[in-house]
Amino acid sequence: MSIATPAQPASSTRTQVAIVGGGPAGLMLSHLLHLAGIDTVVVDNRAAEAIETTHRAGILERDSVRLLVDSGVDRVLRDGHRHEGIDLRFDGVSHRIDFEGLVGASCWLYPQTDVFIDLHARRTADGGDLRYGITETEVLDVLDAPRVRYTDAAGTRHEIVADLVVGSDGSRSICRDLVPNPTRFFREYPFAWFGILTESAPSAPELIYTRSERGFALVSQRTESVQRLYFQCDPAEDPAAWSDDRIWGELQARLAGEDGFRLNEGPVIERTVLPFRSFVQTPMRHGRLLLAGDAAHTVPPTGAKGLNLALADVRVLAETIERTVKKGDDAALDSYTDRALARVWKAQHFSYWMTSMLHRLEGASDFDEQRQLGELASIIGSQAGSTYLAEGYTGWPER
């Protein structure tokens, strides 16, 4: 979203909570607050149709699924795919991590786009005030009397006056920059993921995380006829320079092993390079502005934590806002950052750990290679090690 030029609004709306960013996190917060009897207005510079058609993977932790289902958004149970474990593959051999057997929990393969579609449909059916396709958004006076101003598709300027503003506007957040003198923690990674969508049958029933001498690869699923696959690459790689044959040759080489495993191949219908980083900003609250999801933190995709972490923020934030708005307990706002960051840093560690364990560093020494293999062997050879991975992957239960 861009910073707006000063202009007087043609209309003004009064609400209890203005939510800047209408992706899954913003819509889930709006939905939960609606169930609590709290009014919201959601604004986003993207068109809803654009969000619905942007392919994004999604592994939902058990508590994320529970949050959807308990709040009445339950299509995930019908159309999602329950995964009771993953395979760790290295030295050409797959080793199953049995989540159900280790921690009594599963995760669900359910694309982020479907989470958005479900929540958007529910908020629309409930009469939610959702404003997509806007421009020139600015957030003002967050210390005492928050306002959000924006321009609609017709060029008309509008204003929303609220008790609280939530910035769930993603990794390019404008709300983030309104927090004065924040502390920011940041790590860039020297590799990226080359991701493809392919018209092919599933190559495995659940995810395969692969460490090979050629680098990391991930076998995922999407539908019975479209699959999602990734392999480690240079962030400067040009996806257009890779033919289908070259892509399949690289993926097959990384998955090759003594068991003869081979991927099911098909036409590549989408290819993209996905750089990633680790980022945390604190505090996640300034005055009557609160941050959630990628606006406050991002994680590498290896640990499947991004969307789940945003939904965990929202779960805490909905409770915090309900106490503030309905009970007049402004002190509740003070606890939000610490409550959210307790989980954020666990997820940052887990994502970093999975990333560093499975990716090959350019120029790695023989010692580095063997240490990495030793770490993987320790995970699959120890119930305690496997349990740690299973608990982190399925999501640490709330206690």
With H, G, I as helix, E, B as strand and everything else as coil, classify residue 243: coil
Rounded to an integer, what distance in angstroms lies between the CA atom of residue 95 and that of residue 208? 9
> Do 148 and 138 contact (CB within 8 A), yes or no?
yes
98, β-bridge pairs: 85
Is 110 marked active-site?
no
pLDDT tens for the 399 residues of the chain, in order: 444 454 678 889 999 999 999 999 999 999 999 999 999 999 999 999 999 988 776 899 999 999 999 999 999 999 999 999 999 999 999 999 999 999 999 999 999 999 999 999 999 999 999 999 999 999 999 999 999 999 999 999 999 999 999 999 999 999 999 999 999 999 999 999 999 999 999 999 999 999 999 999 999 998 899 999 999 999 999 999 999 999 999 999 999 999 999 999 999 999 999 999 999 999 999 999 999 999 999 999 999 999 999 999 999 999 999 999 998 888 999 999 999 999 999 999 999 999 999 999 888 899 999 999 999 999 999 999 999 999 999 999 765
H or E segment and range at residue 29: helix 24-35
Query: With a threshold of 0.85, does the pTM exceed it?
Result: yes
Q: Which of the following is catalytic: 110, 150, 189, 393?
A: 393
With H, G, I as helix, E, B as strand and everything else as coil, classify residue 172: coil
Residue ranges with strand state E in the chain: 11-20, 40-44, 59-60, 81-83, 85-90, 93-98, 107-109, 129-132, 135-140, 147-151, 157-167, 183-199, 208-212, 215-219, 226-233, 268-282, 285-286, 289-291, 297-298
What residues have CB less than 8 Å from 258, skipping those under 6 apart?
Answer: 92, 93
Q: Which of the following is catalytic: 111, 283, 300, 301?
A: 301
Q: Which of the following is catalytic: 31, 83, 120, 158?
A: 83
Is 393 marked active-site?
yes
Rounded to an integer, what distance in angstroms lies between the CA atom of residue 23 and that of residue 44? 8
Q: Which of the following is catalytic: 300, 305, 336, 359?
A: 305
Rounded to an integer, what distance in angstroms lies between the CA atom of residue 355 and that of residue 364? 15
H or E segment and range at residue 113: helix 112-125
Phi, psi of 274 (to 5 degrees): -120, 95
Is 297 marked active-site?
no
H or E segment and range at residue 320: helix 306-327
Q: Which of the following is catalytic: 110, 150, 189, 209?
A: 209
Among left, alpha and beta (phi > 0; psi -120 to 50; other), residue 331 is alpha
Is 83 marked active-site?
yes
Is 305 marked active-site?
yes
